[in-house]
Every structure is written in structure tokens, then in C-alpha cells.
């Protein structure tokens, strides 16, 4: 009985070979399934060839790359069906060097042909495949589709090439440099090298240091070394390596500066000519205006001489009060003549345009005092209507006086045949501006000439140049103002111009140059 029990226990303790085999096969199946799942999920194509170049294994990713099934690929020998005809020689050379042992591994970028004929750019890495004993039995190749990254890199390279071509063809000097104190010129186009060579200190650094304004602002810079004017813009940008660097764009504006200077000189000459023409048109009136005080001076002096001689003949002494009275009247007439001459001289005198704060009432008084000489000759009364406590304005007094004289003279001339010969010059404040107006009772502005009234060389006067109103408008606009005209309900016209009480910029451009 005890023998049977011990034999039974011995049988139960022995391992079951069949069961062990089943367990081993199950584990192997799981391992194979796991490895196959890994191979099937890999986005990288895998290919194995034997020592003769015959394909012995491909994974699904490789099949998708070339558009073929495993059955179509397995057993193929060079040349493989996915080799593009135009790349056959390159592929043959690569596989030959592997099979003959000239190289142990291969890492290359080469086109692969899909079944539909399209080409893919692939990165192929081939290395020896060894068995468990370390003996080489073939080659394992991993294949990655890099068509899209290659396309993007190519487009970026082409875009960069186009960008560089544009930069090189610009007339402006373009440079990129590291921030001071680093002395590194990272980029310079052809225009920059033409002016400054490859020197950072000769071009980029001095112009960048002189420019402290935002990118939207430009600064004109005269470069003494090349004797040129440049319009300079500077901004900070991030360079390809992540550094913050300076981008400078300098445009050569030398010819523009020369043209602007010439235009400014011509315009100043034109203003001077216009003032002289005004005086020429007023010559007869001015002669009459000066003749009156000069005649009075002559009469007073002749009277004084006659009185002194008469007293000598009678052996009497002339009363001092009598002579003082006559000499005082003579002095007043001389002062009157001097005032006319001084106004004429100040008006036609050529001087550099200078802005300064001046009382509007003084401007009007000077202009009216000069222009009403014509008014008296034609019987026109000039009235001044000024608001009280007018603030001073920052203008060029000679230029604004020229505008007022021109408008007053035009108004007087328009009333030669008018029944009511009254010209009103008014100054008042309106919405942070000072408004000047010259109102006449003349014949008004004809509809046919309204659109051309301010054009250059257009005039309704037989002897006129047609520059008066055009120059007036340019002068007012250079002071950030506006000049226009309106019809009067009771006849005639009113010419108006406005000037800002507080201009945004005290120096404004007149035909491209500062007034």
C-alpha cells in the first residue's frame, strides 16, 4: 500500500512534456505576434536582402512606400522594380559596393519609385544583418519617406535665394550687424558694399548710432566719408541663431536733397519776384503816396524860408513858435514818407524765411498800410475788424504779409467799377485756429475760372503772371493752414485763410524744403 502511494506521488511530481511544449509554443506565438505588431505599426519601411541581393523580408510600411505587396517584392533581385529608371546607375553602384564588401554600411538620400510612377525622396540606411553566431547573412535597410520635408527645405532655400536676390538688387544699402559692442557684420548687400565695403565701422555703426527713432521714423544722415546723404531706418530683429541684431536700411537721397535745395531757391526767387511785381503794379500809387508828403515838406520849408526873408527885410525876428510849428509839420510829413519807404523796403527785401511769434494786428496793419495806397487812388476804403485779445501766432511775418497784401490788392482791384467801395479785413478765432478774411464788393469770381483760380500761370489780368494766388496758397499750406474763397450774398467774394494757433510741427515743408 505504501509503495503504491509513493509511486503515485512520484508520477505527479514529474513535469508533463506536452504541457511544457504547449506553454513554450504559446509564449513564442505571443512574442512573434508582438514583434509583428511592432513591425506593422512602424512608419519606417524595413527591407532585408541576402548576400546575393535577393529580398527576403519587407514590412508593411515598405510595401506602402513602393505601392506593392509582400508577394510582389519578396524574391526580387537587382534591379528592383521600385528603382526609378533615371536613377538606375546610382542604385546599381550602391548595391554593388554592398554586395562586394567595399562598404559595410550605407546612408544615402535617393529617389524611390512608387507603383503609380510618382517619385519619393527617401533616406535609406543599410547595415549588416548577422545571425545568433555573429555571422553576416545579409543587409537590413530602413527606409524613411522625406519627400515633404525635402520639398519644404527646397522651397525655403528657393525663397531665401529669391529674397537674397531682391536684397542684392536694391539701390538701398541693407546691413545686419550684432548689437554693440560686438563688431560683427552678419550681412551686407551689394549697395552697402559699394559704399562702405565690408566695414562695420565705416557704414552700419555710425548711421545706426545716429538713428534713435522708431522704425516708422526716418532720419537723414550725411556721411562725410562718401559725401552722400542717406535716409536711414534701423530696427532690432531676431537673427537665425536667436540673437537680437540690428537691421539697417540706408537709401541714398543725395540727388533728392540737391533737387529740393534747387527747388527751394527757385521758389524763394519766385516769391521775391512776386513781391517786386506787386510793387511794380503799385508804382503809380506809390509815387502819388510819396509825392504828397514830399510836396508838403517842400511847401513847409519854402514857407519857412519866405517868412525868415520877410522878417530880415523888415529887420524883425521870426517867432520861434512859428518856425517850430512849420518844422514839426515838416517832420511829420517826412515820417509819413519814411513809413511808406520802410514798408516797401521791408516787403521787397530778400531774406531767409524765419518764423517768429507776432501779433496778428501788427501783420494786418503793415499789409493794409502798404496795400491801401492803391485803395486811396481808386477811392476804396479799407476797414480792419479784429477780435480783441488776439494771441500771437508763430509764422514767417514777411510771407504772411505777402499773402495779405496780395489778397487786399486783388479785392481793391475787383472794386474799380463797384458802387460800394468798401473792403473789410477781418481776423478772428475759430476752433483753435486764427481766421483771416478779406471781403470785397466787386464782381465776384466767374464760375468758369473757379477750378483754375489757384493754378500756376493762370490769371485774369492782362499784365499778370498768374502766380499770386498760387504762391499764396503754397505759403499758407506751408504754415499748416488752408486758403479758399466764398461768394458773398450781397455781391463780391471773400478770400479766407486759416492758421493753427499751435502748429503740430513748427517747421513745415514748403515745396519739399523747410520754410
470 or 394, higher pLDDT: 394
pLDDT at position 253: 87
pLDDT more than 70, % of the chain: 79
Domain count, the chain: 4
Q: What is the DSSP letter of 434?
A: E
What pLDDT band is residue 149 in, cutting at 50, 70 and 90? Answer: confident
Residue 287, pLDDT above cutoff 70? no
What pLDDT band is residue 243 in, cutting at 50, 70 and 90? Answer: confident
Burial status of residue 450 (CB atoms within 10 A of its CB: 0-12, 13-18, 19 or more): exposed
Any domain includes 404: yes
Which whole-number Å values give the CA distances from 254 to 174, 205, 211, 220, in the listed order? 17, 20, 18, 10
Any domain includes 511: no
Residue 71, pLDDT above cutoff 60? yes
Residue 47, pLDDT above cutoff 60? yes
Q: CA nearest 480: which of 453, 512, 507?
A: 507
What pLDDT band is residue 58 in, cutting at 50, 70 and 90? Answer: very high
Residue 308, pLDDT above cutoff 70? yes
pLDDT at position 74: 93
The last residue of a domain, from among 321, 348, 375:
348
Cα gap 513→515, rounded to integer Å: 6
Residues 58 and 98 in one domain: yes
Least confident span in 81-95, 182-196, 273-287, 356-370: 273-287
Q: What is the DSSP letter of 458?
A: -
Residue 113, C-alpha cell as written in the block:
519609385
Residues 233 and 261 in one domain: no
Cα gap 346→405, rounded to integer Å: 13
The mean pLDDT of 175-197, rounded to a whole number, is 85
Domain span at 220: 157-256
Q: What is the pLDDT of residues 29-44, one digit of tens each?
A: 777 766 666 676 678 8
Q: Which residues are bridge partners to 422 per DSSP?
A: 381
Residues 276 and 379 in one domain: no
Residue 230, pLDDT above cutoff 80? yes
pLDDT at position 433: 92
Average pLDDT, the chain: 79
Any domain includes 515: no
pLDDT at position 458: 42
Residues 398 and 366 in one domain: yes
Any domain includes 510: no
- The domain that holds 131 is classified in CATH as 3.30.450.20
Any domain includes 461: yes
Residues 438 and 379 in one domain: yes
The mean pLDDT of 315-323, rounded to a whole number, is 77
CB atoms within 10 A of CB 316: 9
pLDDT at position 364: 92
Residue 7, pLDDT above cutoff 70? no
Residues 472 and 385 in one domain: yes
- The domain that holds 291 is classified in CATH as 1.10.287
* Alpha helices per DSSP H over 349-467: 360-378, 397-414
Cα gap 119→15, rounded to integer Å: 59
The last residue of a domain, from among 348, 366, 381:
348
What pLDDT band is residue 505 in, cutting at 50, 70 and 90? Answer: very low
pLDDT at position 30: 74
Q: What is the pLDDT of residues 491-501, one digit of tens each?
A: 889 999 999 98
Any domain includes 165: yes
Residue 20, C-alpha cell as written in the block:
511544457
Q: What is the DSSP letter of 351?
A: -
Residues 222 and 176 in one domain: yes
Least confident span in 89-103, 133-147, 216-230: 216-230
pLDDT at position 345: 66
Residues 134 and 183 in one domain: no
Cα gap 194→482, rounded to integer Å: 45
pLDDT at position 507: 38
- The 8 Å CB, 24+ separation contacts for 329-335 are 329/296, 329/300, 330/296, 330/297, 330/300, 330/301, 330/304, 333/293, 333/294, 333/296, 333/297, 333/300, 334/293, 334/297
The mean pLDDT of 54-71, rounded to a whole number, is 92
pLDDT at position 10: 53
pLDDT at position 293: 72
The mean pLDDT of 422-435, rounded to a whole number, is 92
pLDDT at position 514: 30
Residues 228 and 100 in one domain: no
- The domain that holds 480 is classified in CATH as 3.30.565.10
Residue 393, pLDDT above cutoff 90? yes
Residues 120 and 70 in one domain: yes
The mean pLDDT of 48-62, rounded to a whole number, is 92
Residues 372 and 495 in one domain: yes
Q: What is the DSSP string of 8-74?
A: HHHHHHS--HHHHHHHHHHHHHHHHHHHHHHHHH-SSEEEEEETTS-EEEE-HHHHHHHT--HHHHT
Residue 391, pLDDT above cutoff 50? yes
Residues 82 and 169 in one domain: no
Residue 103, pLDDT above cutoff 70? yes
pLDDT more than 90, % of the chain: 23
Residue 138, pLDDT above cutoff 90? yes
The last residue of a domain, from among 327, 348, 369:
348
Cα gap 407→237, rounded to integer Å: 54
Residue 386, pLDDT above cutoff 90? yes
Q: What is the pLDDT of residues 192-228, one digit of tens each?
A: 888 888 888 888 888 888 766 555 566 888 888 888 8
Any domain includes 73: yes
What pLDDT band is residue 4 in, cutting at 50, 70 and 90? Answer: low
Any domain includes 229: yes
Residue 434, pLDDT above cutoff 90? yes
What pLDDT band is residue 15 in, cutting at 50, 70 and 90? Answer: low
Residue 511, pLDDT above cutoff 60? no
20 or 461, higher pLDDT: 20
Amino acid at each position: 500500500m505504501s509503495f503504491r502511494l509513493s509511486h503515485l506521488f512520484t508520477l505527479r511530481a514529474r513535469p508533463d512534456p506536452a504541457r511544457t511544449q504547449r506553454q513554450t509554443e504559446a509564449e513564442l506565438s505571443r512574442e512573434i505576434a508582438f514583434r509583428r505588431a511592432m513591425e506593422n505599426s512602424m512608419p519606417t519601411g524595413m527591407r532585408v536582402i541576402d548576400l546575393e541581393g535577393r529580398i527576403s523580408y519587407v514590412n508593411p510600411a515598405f510595401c506602402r512606400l513602393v505601392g506593392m505587396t509582400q508577394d510582389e517584392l519578396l524574391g526580387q533581385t537587382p534591379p528592383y522594380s521600385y528603382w526609378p529608371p533615371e536613377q538606375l546607375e546610382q542604385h546599381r553602384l550602391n548595391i554593388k559596393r554592398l554586395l562586394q564588401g567595399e562598404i559595410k554600411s550605407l546612408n544615402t538620400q535617393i529617389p524611390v519609385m512608387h507603383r503609380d510612377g510618382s517619385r519619393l525622396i527617401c533616406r535609406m540606411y543599410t547595415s549588416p544583418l548577422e545571425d545568433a553566431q555573429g555571422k553576416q547573412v545579409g543587409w537590413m535597410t530602413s527606409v524613411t519617406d522625406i519627400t515633404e520635408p525635402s520639398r519644404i527645405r527646397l522651397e525655403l532655400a528657393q525663397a531665401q535665394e529669391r529674397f537674397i536676390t531682391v536684397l542684392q538688387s536694391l539701390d538701398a544699402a541693407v546691413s545686419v550687424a550684432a548689437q554693440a559692442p560686438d563688431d560683427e557684420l552678419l550681412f551686407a548687400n551689394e549697395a552697402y558694399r559699394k559704399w562702405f565695403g565690408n566695414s562695420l565701422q565705416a557704414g552700419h555703426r555710425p548711421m545706426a548710432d545716429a538713428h534713435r527713432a522708431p522704425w516708422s521714423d526716418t532720419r537723414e544722415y550725411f556721411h562725410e566719408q562718401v559725401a552722400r546723404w542717406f535716409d536711414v531706418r534701423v530696427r532690432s530683429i531676431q537673427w537665425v541663431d536667436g540673437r537680437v541684431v540690428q537691421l539697417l536700411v540706408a537709401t541714398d537721397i543725395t540727388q533728392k536733397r540737391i533737387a529740393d535745395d534747387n527747388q527751394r531757391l527757385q521758389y524763394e526767387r519766385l516769391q521775391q519776384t512776386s513781391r517786386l511785381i506787386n510793387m511794380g503794379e503799385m508804382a503809380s500809387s506809390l509815387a502819388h503816396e510819396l509825392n504828397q508828403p514830399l510836396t508838403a515838406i517842400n511847401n513847409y520849408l519854402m514857407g519857412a524860408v519866405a517868412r525868415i526873408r520877410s522878417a530880415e527885410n523888415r529887420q524883425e525876428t521870426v517867432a520861434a513858435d512859428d518856425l517850430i510849428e512849420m518844422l514839426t509839420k515838416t517832420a511829420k510829413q517826412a515820417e509819413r514818407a519814411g513809413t511808406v519807404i520802410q514798408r516797401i523796403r521791408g516787403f521787397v527785401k530778400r531774406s531767409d524765411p524765419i518764423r517768429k511769434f507776432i501779433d496778428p494786428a501788427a501783420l494786418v496793419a503793415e499789409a493794409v498800410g502798404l496795400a491801401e495806397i492803391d485803395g486811396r487812388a481808386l477811392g476804396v476804403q479799407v476797414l480792419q475788424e479784429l477780435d480783441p485779445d488776439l494771441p500771437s501766432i508763430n509764422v514767417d511775418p514777411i510771407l504772411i504779409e505777402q499773402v495779405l497784401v496780395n489778397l487786399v490788392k486783388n479785392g481793391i482791384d475787383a472794386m474799380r467799377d463797384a458802387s460800394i467801395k468798401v473792403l473789410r479785413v477781418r481776423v478772428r478765432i475759430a476752433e483753435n485756429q486764427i481766421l483771416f478774411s478779406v471781403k470785397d464788393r466787386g464782381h465776384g469770381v466767374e464760375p468758369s475760372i473757379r477750378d483754375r483760380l489757384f493754378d500756376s500761370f493762370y490769371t485774369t489780368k492782362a499784365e499778370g503772371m498768374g502766380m499770386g494766388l498760387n504762391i499764396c496758397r503754397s505759403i499758407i499750406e506751408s504754415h499748416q493752414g488752408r486758403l479758399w474763397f466764398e461768394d458773398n450774398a450781397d455781391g463780391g467774394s471773400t478770400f479766407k485763410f486759416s492758421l493753427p494757433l499751435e502748429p503740430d510741427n513748427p517747421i513745415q515743408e514748403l515745396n519739399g524744403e523747410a520754410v
